[in-house]
Amino acid sequence: MAFFLAQFLTGLANAAALFLVASGLSLIFGVTRIVNFAHGSFYMLGAFIGIYLMEILPGHVGFWAAILLTGVAVGLIGAITEIIVLRPIYKAPELFQLVATFGVILVIQDLALMIWGAEDKLGPRAPGLRGVWRIFGEPVPKYDIVLIAITPFILFALWYLITKTRLGVLVRAATQDREMVGALGVNQAWLFTGVFALGSALAGLGGALQLPKGGADLLMDFNIIGEVFVVVVIGGMGSLPGAFIAAVIISVLNVFGVTYLPQSTLVLMYVVMAVVLIVRPYGILGREEVAGEHGQVGAPEQPIRPYGRTGILAVTLFIAVLALVPLFAEQFVMTLIVDMIVFALFAASLHFILGSGGLVSFGHAAFFGGGAYAAALLVFHTGTPMELAFLFAPLAAGMLALAIGWFCIRLTGVYFAMLTLAFSQLVWSLAFQWRGVTRGDDGLVGIWPSDWLNAPAPFYYFTLILGVGGIVFLRHVIHSPFGYALRAGRDSPRQAEAMGIDVKRVQYAAFVLAGVMAGLAGGIFVFSKGSVFPTVLEIAESFDALIVVFLGGVKTLAGGVVGAGFMTGVEDWLVRLEYWRLLLGLVIIAVVILMPEGIVGTLRTLWRRMRNDDEEVVK
Partner 1 sequence: MTEILRVENLKKSYDGFLAVNDVSFSVAAGELKALIGPNGAGKSTCFNMLMGQLKPTHGRVYFDGKEITGHKPRDIWRRGVGRTFQITGTYQSMTVIENVQMALMSHHRRIFTIGPRAWRLYRDEAMELLKTVAMQDQADRPCSVLAYGDLKRLELAIALCHKPRLLLMDEPTAGMAPTARVELMQLVADIVRDQGVSVLFTEHDMDVVFAHSHHIMVLNRGELIADGNAAEVRNNPQVQEVYLGGGTLFKEDTHA
Question: What residues line the site for partner 1 (CB under 8 A)?
Answer: 300-306, 476-477, 479-485, 487-488, 490-492, 494-495, 497-502, 506, 509, 615-619
Q: Is 542 or 556 the residue whose CB approaches partner 1 more closely?
A: 556
Instruction: Label the pairing between strands 215-216 and 121-122.
Output: antiparallel
CA angle 569, 572, 576 (to 5 degrees): 145
- Between the alpha carbon of residue 458 and those of residues 463, 480, 618, the distances in Å are 9, 32, 41
Q: Report in angstroms the alpha-carbon separations of 260 from 256, 265, 429.
A: 6, 10, 17
Minimal distance, residue 611 CB to partner 1, in Å: 17
Beta strands per DSSP E along 392-516 = 444-445
Q: Which is nearer to partner 1, 364 or 475 (CB)?
A: 475
CB-side neighbour CA atoms (13 Å) of 527: 32
Pick the closer one to partner 1 by CB: 262 or 306.
306
Q: How far is the CB of 299 from partner 1 (least distance, A)?
A: 8
Give the residue with the Cβ less far from partner 1, 436 or 481. Answer: 481
Bridge-partner residues for 444, per DSSP? 532
Q: Of the two residues 140 and 557, which places its CB atom closer to partner 1 in the complex?
A: 557
Contact predicate 342/460, CB 8 Å: no
Least distance to partner 1, CB of residue 304, Å: 7
Q: Calculate the alpha carbon distances from 242 to 249, 378, 494, 539 in Å.
A: 11, 44, 31, 25
Q: 3-state secondary structure string, 110-129? A: HHHHHHHCCCCEECCCCCCC
Angle at 503 between CA 498 and CA 504, to 5 degrees: 140
CB-CB contact of 596 with 91 (8 Å)? yes
From the CB of 506, what's the least distance to partner 1, in Å? Answer: 7
* Nearest CA-CA partner of 23 in 243, 194, 224: 243
Q: Among residues 223 and 480, whose Cβ is nearest to partner 1? A: 480
Which residue's CB is nearer to partner 1, number 108 or number 486? Answer: 486
In whole angstroms, how close is the CB of 556 to partner 1 at the nearest point? 12
Q: Within its chain, how far is the Cα of 167 from the centroid?
A: 30
Round to whole Å and give the CA distance between 20 and 154.
8
Q: Which amino acid is at 575?
A: V
Decide whether 435 or 505 has the Cβ nearer to partner 1: 505
We find the least distance from the C-beta atom of residue 555 to partner 1, in angstroms, to be 8
Residue 133's beta-bridge partner residues?
A: 140
Phi-psi region of 59 (alpha: psi -120 to 50; beta: other; left: phi over 0): left
Q: Which residue, 451 or 615, is less far from partner 1 as judged by CB?
A: 615
Q: Please state the closest distance from residue 495 (CB atom) to partner 1, in A.
A: 4
Whose Cβ is closer to partner 1: residue 55's or residue 616's? 616
Least distance from partner 1 to the Cβ atom of residue 547, Å: 23
Q: Are 524 and 353 in contact (CB under 8 A)?
A: no
Minimum distance from CB of 405 to partner 1 (Å)?
16
Residue 62 burial (10 A CB sphere; 0-12, 13-18, 19+): middle
Nearer to partner 1, 384 or 492 (CB): 492
Q: How far is the CB of 601 from partner 1 (least distance, A)?
A: 13
Integer Cα distance of 194 and 530 in angstroms: 50
Q: At what angle do helices 220-235 and 96-116 cross, to 10 degrees?
A: 140
CB atoms within 10 A of CB 439: 18
Residue 59 sits at the vertex; the CA angle it makes with 42 and 48, to the nearest 5 degrees, is: 20
Find out whether 113 and 218 touch, Cβ atoms under 8 Å: yes
- Residue 618 CA to residue 607 CA, distance in Å, equals 16
The least CB distance from residue 487 to partner 1, in Å, is 6
To which H or E segment does residue 135 belong?
strand 132-135
Q: At its nearest, how many Å lie between partner 1 and the CB of residue 515?
A: 16
Which of the 8 DSSP states describes residue 177? -
What's the closest the beta carbon of residue 220 comes to partner 1, in angstroms? 42
Smaller CB distance to partner 1: residue 288 or 387? Answer: 288
Residue number, 96 or 116, with CB nearest to partner 1 = 96
Nearest to 60 by CA among 112, 129, 108, 113: 129
Shortest distance, position 56 Cβ to partner 1, whole Å: 57
**For residue 34, what are the contacts with CB-CB under 8 A and spacing of at least 6?**
28, 86, 97, 98, 101, 196
Comparison of 11 and 357: residue with beta carbon closer to partner 1: 357
Nearer to partner 1, 83 or 402 (CB): 402
Closer residue to partner 1, CB minimum distance, 327 or 618:
618
- Minimum Å distance from CB 518 to partner 1? 18
Q: How far is the CB of 278 from partner 1 (least distance, A)?
A: 22
Q: Which residues pair with 122 in a beta bridge?
A: 215
What's the rounded Cα separation, in Å, for the pair 39 and 80? Answer: 14
Question: Which positions ≥6 away from 582 have C-beta within 8 Å?
Answer: 106, 107, 109, 110, 111
CA–CA dist 205, 450 (Å, integer): 56
